[in-house]
Every structure is written in structure tokens, then in C-alpha cells.
Amino acid sequence: MNFENTEEAYRLKSNSELFRAYYLFRLISYPTLVALGSKITLLALKIKLPISNLFKHTVFKQFCAGTQKEDSIKLVQKLSDLKVNSYMHYAAEGLKTEEGMEISLEKTLETLSFSKGRPALPFTVFKSTSLGAFDLFEKKTSGKSFTPQEGQSWERCLDRMEQCCKKASELGVRLLIDAEETWVQGAIDAIAEDFMQRYNKEEAVVFTTVQMYRKDRLPYLKKLVQKAEEKGFKLGVKLVRGAYIEKENDRAERLGIPSPICENKKETDKNFDMALDFLLPKLETCRLFIGSHSELSILKVTDWMKENGLANNHPNLWFSQLYGMADHISFNLAASGYQVVKYVPYGPVREVIPYLIRRAEENTSVSGQTPRELQLIEKEIKRRKAKEVEV
């Protein structure tokens, strides 16, 4: 694999889009600026200041496909033309009312229906706390009892999640259940396991997400595989490093408890690679969706595939990166025949801002990621300028 091929990596980007990405990643590379900007933005949202236009032509353009699914399909087709598949997600994270959760359900079901019969859209995704109150997942994870009213709300949440999984099974569209904070993840794990056992008898339809920055996830994976083998269902696993570093560490410090996540990136990488070592030989039982922006981890997998005689387009193995990031990985993998799926979020700008803030924070917290993006974009800008001079 050659991840240095920037011509391939940025084939979809015009010169102006490339420059916009460059300056955006330059801004994101300053953690203090991102932290301050995030606080100001959340405050502006709270007091309902008109900030959508500021985001629409900057961060939103970089990391989101559009405001409606119809807008997004144009991008999906462009990606598909370069052999990169997509999975779309209505990424509004600020809908906390029962009405808002019903909207999230409606959008997830719409996206599932929209994906059916489109080879370029083999997956879709939902976030559990967009379908039920965060507090209920927290209470369920901690083992506390619900009040009668909470119990009714929880049943409505389970019904929404059930509708999504049932629809995915009927339509033959794979469904990823996002991982979230540790203090709500226990409830999500239990639900995801139940749905996998029910809907993954013949093939993996429902996928759970496992965050390997958690210290306890390798033992959990081993139990999960054992359960799948004993119960006779196909295990769908989306393997990621994790996206809530600041929140996890801040909460642990506030409560005076050990942090549930690894102390540094090196330990997280070690955990992630051990999970790969464990899961790759089990592709008969496990369907593996690798969400990673690490070139080393991707090379570890492609090398293993080659050594074990697996075709580049092995049907039980996918690679995924976020839209607007790690294009040098996605497009070069796809050009070599691997199964690549870009995460393509969409939604009203104002509702998607919390997602965009997480993307910016994630870039500042992952060592080496933003500098690498800048290095490659700069390389492509220079290549294009040199080509213009030649012409």
C-alpha cells in the first residue's frame, strides 16, 4: 500500500476545496483555540444565536455531505465512481425530546430504505441516545431501577431501536450501533448483543461498536466471540479506538475514580492491534468493520490478508474512515481493491454542530493526525502547482 499517492487521495477535491481543508486543519491544530471555540459555540447554540452560516461554509462543508439525504447522494455517487462506498447518517445530536427522538427514528428508517438496493450504501448507523434519553441509558448501565414513567420511556426507546434493527433485517442493509460514553455503554452493549443474537442468524445485519481505548474491551471481545459461537449467530463488530477521550478523563477525575480508558495513545494502539490479532483469524464467525485513521493499523491488516491468502475484497472485512479525513487511506485502499466505506453524515447545520465539535476535538486529541493531514494536503497543493507550471 502506498498512502503517499496524494493525486489519488484528493481526486475529488478542487483546488479551492483543498485550500479550505488546509486552512481548516491549520486552525484545528491549536487545541486551545478548539476548546475555546467549542465552548463559545455551545453557548451560542444555547442562547439561539444565528451561527449556522459560519459553520455551513467551513467545518460543515469539510465533514458533512449536505443538509438532506438527497443532497448527500450526489456525494455518495462521486465516491462510488472511485470505488469508495458510503454509509449515511442523520447526525443531529441535539434532539433530546420525545418528539426529537421520533424524528431521529424517522430519519434512520428513511436512510435504511434509501440504502436498500444501492450497492454504494451497504451500511447505515444509529446512535442509541438519539432514540432514548441519555439519563435512562446511564441509569440502566448503573443497575438502578426506573420509576414507572422512566420505565415507559425506556420501553419506547427499546421499541425505536427494535424498529431500526427489524427494518435493517428486512431490507438487507447492515446496521451499525454506535459506541458511546462508558457510563451508558453497558446498556447499549446488552441491547446490541440481544439484537445480534436475534437478527444475525444467517448473516451479520446488526453490528456493535467496540472502542479499544477502553482497558476492558479485549476481554469483552473474547466473551462476545464465545457467545456468538455458542449461540450460533454471526458477530458484527465495528472496531474503533474511541472518540470521548476528554469526557472520559474529566469524569473520572471529577468522581475520583480510575479512568476507564488507556493512559496514552501507545497503549490504545496496542489494545487495538491485539483486538485485530484476535478477530482476524475468526472471520468465519465475525464480520469485521475497521474504523481507523491509523496507517500502521491498516497496513497490519492488509499485510495479514496477503500473508493468509485473502482477496483484497474479502466479503467479511471492511475499512472505514470519516468523510473529510484520512482520504489518503480511503482512496488508496479503494484503488487497490479493498472494501472501503466512508462515514457520510448529513442534517441541518444547527443540529449537526455538536457532531462537528466532536470532530474538531478528536483531531486535536489524536497525536500526529492533524499534522499528517496538513503534510499530505500541502504535498498535493505543491504537486498541482508544479503540474500547472509544466503545462
Q: What is the pLDDT of residue 358?
A: 72
Query: Domain limits of the chain?
Result: 66-351
pLDDT along the chain (391 residues), means of 10: 94 94 86 73 70 77 86 91 94 79 93 93 95 96 97 98 98 96 98 98 97 98 97 97 90 97 94 98 96 96 98 98 95 98 89 76 66 94 90 62
Give alpha helix (H) positions in the chain: 6-9, 15-28, 31-46, 52-56, 59-63, 69-81, 98-115, 134-142, 148-171, 182-199, 217-231, 245-255, 265-279, 295-307, 327-335, 349-365, 369-390
Q: What is the pLDDT of residue 98?
A: 92
Dist. CA 310–CA 54, nearest whole Å: 47
Q: What is the pLDDT of residue 318?
A: 98
Count CA atoms within 13 Å of residue 78 on its CB side: 12
Q: What is the pLDDT of residue 151?
A: 98
Q: Tell me if residue 208 falls in helix, strand or coil.
A: strand
Give alpha helix (H) positions in 315-348: 327-335
Q: Tell me if residue 325 falls in helix, strand or coil.
A: coil
Q: Report yes or no: 115 and 108 within 8 Å, Cβ to Cβ.
A: no
Beta bridge partners of 289: 238, 318
Dist. CA 353–CA 55, nearest whole Å: 8
Q: What string of DSSP letters covers 78-144?
A: HHHHTT-EEEEEE------SHHHHHHHHHHHHHHHHHHTT-TT--EEEE-GGGTS-HHHHHHHHHTP
Return the CATH number of the domain spanning residue range 66-351.
3.20.20.220
